Chains A and B, each alone.
Chain A
Amino acid sequence: MATMELTKPQKVADAIKPPVTSIGIIGWMRVNLFDGWFNSILSLIVLYLLSMTLPSFIKWAFINSSWFTTSDQCKAGSGACWSVITANIRFITFGFYPHQLQWRPLLAMIILVLLLFFSQNRKHWRKSLAYAWLLGLFSMGLLLKGGLGLEVVDSDNWGGLPLTLLLSVFGLTAAYPIGVMLALGRQSRMPIIKSFSVVYIELIRGVPLISMLFMSSVVFPLFLPEGVTLNKILRAQVAIILFTAAYIAEVVRGGLQGMNKGQYEAAESLGLNYFQAMRLIILPQALKIVIPPSMGILISAFKDTSLVVIIALYDLLKTTQTTLSDPKWMGFSAEAYFFVALVYFVCCYAMSNYSRRLEKELDTGH
């Protein structure tokens, strides 16, 4: 008992509180904003610039803005005219798709979002998910195109956000197998196959997408026999697929090279032939490594589909521009482009955030 009491301090020393300048908001500011004369000046300059721009921006975008007005009321006001979006939202989103049938692309987009949402959980990554995707893609195509009892909508009338999503999602899906084959070809020991793959990959990666789109609009028609025509969207889609495949090939090659040499040797020593080794041993591991960089390709493919504006396809950006060329809504470009930028930003930010998370989860440390 006595020893216990000895070890116990008789009187707890009064804890001295840290000075008020090193804790709380003031301390945080001292460490993060006013640490030394250079940082202090920097902070003051930045704060000054923010105070000059931010209030007037907020005033323009929110306080003085008009949201559901006619264009004349907009022109009379002094703030942002978001009415250009709200009044034309259906055209911007769906383009020339027949008005009474626009529930179909909407439903297709909802299916896509649900599928994406469901796939983001890695617990759901089973074979059934692949079938669900195939079924989903098929039903999306059916909803857009029509048939099987649905009224057929000519693809010339497709437009807006569904077209953007269609070009990027189908583009990546179709480009992936081609890209994997090209990557395997590039890694192959057979000189002819290797050189074909290298030439294709380097050729495509060396030219801008716009030249491929030009090719799709002016040269592809010449490639086809007389009487056969492909519509513009399909041609652009082919160009995007051919283009994306080269980039996927390089990403997959990174995965193949990142694999331990022992995996190849082990597969061979088991007596597996090339296709078995690739299908059972190498690709399942290599493709897992390259999931995050593949997301990067999806993001850039999604952004790059906006280039179809140049060959006059009515994607999201083009429908917005068409709205802006209407004399009623002329002059509200800033607002309209802000809206489109927001759509792209939300999609890309979600994807890149997800890919960063995935990278952490998949990093098993070896």
Chain B
Amino acid sequence: MQVNMDTTVPEKIPFLRDPAKLAILYQLLTVIGVGLLSYYLIHNTLANLERQSISTGFDFLGKEASFEIGEKLMRYSAADSYGRALSIGFLNTLVVAFIGITLTVIFGTVLGIARLSKNWLMARLAAIYIEVFQDIPILLQLFFWYAFFYEILPAPQKALGLMPGVFLCNRGLIFGVPYWHVAHLYAAAAFGLACLLIFFIRTWAAKRQAASGRIFPVMKVAIALFVGLPLLAWWLTGAPATMNVPRLSGFNFKGGVTISPEFTALLLGLVLYTSAFVAEVVRAGIQSVGKGQREAALTIGLKPGQVLNLVILPQALRVIVPPLTSQMLNLTKNSSLAVAIGYPDFVSVAGTTINQTGQAIEGVALIMFVYLAFSLSTSAFMNWYNKKIAIVER
């Protein structure tokens, strides 16, 4: 008796029921579909470009731009090339994004903490702020601040004095700065030195604590170094204290630094809008750490500062950082709305370039490429950070 179990030929699976073969078929169909679509679009585009006699390629970057840019960090004139104009725009985007993100993180964190405050008034006000500013489109807020500068604020003669030396008027935000002196350079160098020193002290203190259990007051020493060293350097090199204070002369201010209404409006809009989202992120992060954690930390005798530093923050940050980065990215992307209020950011300069040269595809591709580079580098950083802080399961 032979039960021929092993040698039975497996039943042949019909083609339409075999997942492996179907997978190949589907993918083939997708490739053909996408290929045909792109062929169709490219064919049309090439025909259209030829008909309108527009040349393709990035040669236009070398041509003379012949438009002025109001705000620039590098030397630029209308005689310079489109390439240079675009890099000015790129730098402007970077500046807005950098300052905006810094201010947003600070203000958003304060708001988020205020939202959880035991003070009823503070918590209510923060909640109202968050709800209102989240629900109004960012573009509308930008238009509002722009109008605020040009319609509501007074002329320089009647400028609002916010603080001594700081003025707000329809020419922008004007404030005093110290005159250039070599002492500032030394102070900056001392600040760098302080950073380096603190890094070494931290490593040393961690090692010593691991070896002997003795705790070194790193935080206090760090603050002392951060403040003390630059001050000392500044004082030793002559302690220059003269300020370049803005003064009204004729119809405008002389001296000081003027930040244009466009830039200030853009920054205000972006910071106030994104802070509302950041506040929610911070609130969720703080609330994610269980009450028991704080109580347990206090029970084993940690001081309130240590509880925050060693127990709450490491856990809250794990929740906060990923959505926080996406908010920073949102701010960077939203900074492209500068085009609507006339601040020359990358999109705005690229838009002008498209209008003048007709190189629409290249221009839009450049815009997309720049923002993609921002977001891809951010997500690369995020992946690195997530790996670094991920909970190590034991």
Q: Which residues of A contact B (CB under 8 A)?
A: 32-33, 35, 39, 42-43, 46-47, 189-193, 196, 202-203, 205-211, 214-215, 218-219, 221-226, 273-274, 299, 303-304, 306-307, 309-310, 317, 321, 331, 333-334, 337, 340-341, 344-345, 348-349, 352
- Minimum CB distance partner of A345 in chain B: B135
- Beta-carbon contacts of B355-393 to A below 8 Å, as 1s and 0s? 000001101100110011011100000000000000000
Partner of A223, one of B45, B131, B143, B334: B45
Does B61 count as interface, using CB distance less than 8 angstroms?
no
B144 touches A224 (CB 8 A): no
- Beta-carbon contacts of B241-269 to A below 8 Å, as 1s and 0s? 00000000000000000000000000000
A222 touches B44 (CB 8 A): yes
B375 touches A218 (CB 8 A): no
Does B68 count as interface, using CB distance less than 8 angstroms?
no
A33 touches B119 (CB 8 A): yes
Partner of A32, one of B19, B120, B334: B120
A218 CA to B371 CA, complexed, in Å: 19
Give the residues in chain A near B131, CB-CB below 8 Å.
349
A–B complex contacts, Cβ < 8 Å, 5 sampled: A207-B371, A211-B371, A219-B361, A307-B139, A344-B137
Does B132 count as interface, using CB distance less than 8 angstroms?
yes
B31 touches A192 (CB 8 A): yes
- Minimum CB distance partner of B51 in chain A: A226
What 4 A-B pairs come out closest when comparing CB atoms? Answer: A333-B147, A32-B120, A348-B135, A206-B375
Distance between A317 CB and nearest chain B CB, rounded to angstroms = 6
A334 touches B148 (CB 8 A): yes
Query: Chain A: interface secondary structure?
Result: helix
- Minimum CB distance partner of A221 in chain B: B48
Partner of A211, one of B51, B138, B347: B347
Known contacts A42-B119, A333-B143; 8 additional CB pairs below 8 A are A43-B119, A189-B23, A206-B376, A207-B371, A208-B334, A223-B44, A225-B47, A333-B151
Does B219 count as interface, using CB distance less than 8 angstroms?
no
Give the residues in chain A near B141, CB-CB below 8 Å.
341
A337 touches B140 (CB 8 A): yes
A222 touches B135 (CB 8 A): no
Q: Which residues of B contact A (CB under 8 A)?
A: 17, 19, 23, 26-27, 30-31, 34, 41, 44-45, 47-49, 51, 117-122, 125, 131-132, 134-141, 143-144, 147-148, 151-152, 333-334, 336-337, 339-340, 347, 351, 354, 360-361, 363-364, 367-368, 371-372, 374-376
Distance between B115 CB and nearest chain A CB, rounded to angstroms = 14
A207 CA to B376 CA, complexed, in Å: 10
A341 CA to B334 CA, complexed, in Å: 18
B340 touches A344 (CB 8 A): no
Partner of A226, one of B48, B122, B371: B48
Provided the pairs A222-B44, A341-B136 are in contact, do residues A207 and B122 lie with their beta carbons within 8 angstroms?
no
Give the residues in chain B near A226, CB-CB below 8 Å.
44, 47-48, 51
B44 touches A224 (CB 8 A): yes
Provided the pairs A46-B125, A222-B49 are in contact, do residues A337 and B139 lie with their beta carbons within 8 angstroms?
no
B372 touches A206 (CB 8 A): yes
Give the residues in chain B near A206, CB-CB below 8 Å.
368, 371-372, 374-376
Give the residues in chain A near B372, CB-CB below 8 Å.
203, 206-207
Partner of A334, one of B139, B151, B337: B151
B347 touches A334 (CB 8 A): no
A222 touches B371 (CB 8 A): no
Distance between B378 CB and nearest chain A CB, rounded to angstroms = 9
Partner of B122, one of A46, A202, A203, A274: A46
Give the residues in chain B near A348, CB-CB below 8 Å.
134-136
B375 touches A352 (CB 8 A): no
A190 touches B51 (CB 8 A): no
B361 touches A222 (CB 8 A): yes
Partner of A43, one of B121, B134, B340, B363: B121
Give the residues in chain A near B41, CB-CB below 8 Å.
223
- Minimum CB distance partner of B378 in chain A: A206
A310 touches B364 (CB 8 A): no
A211 touches B368 (CB 8 A): yes
A334 touches B152 (CB 8 A): yes
B364 touches A35 (CB 8 A): no
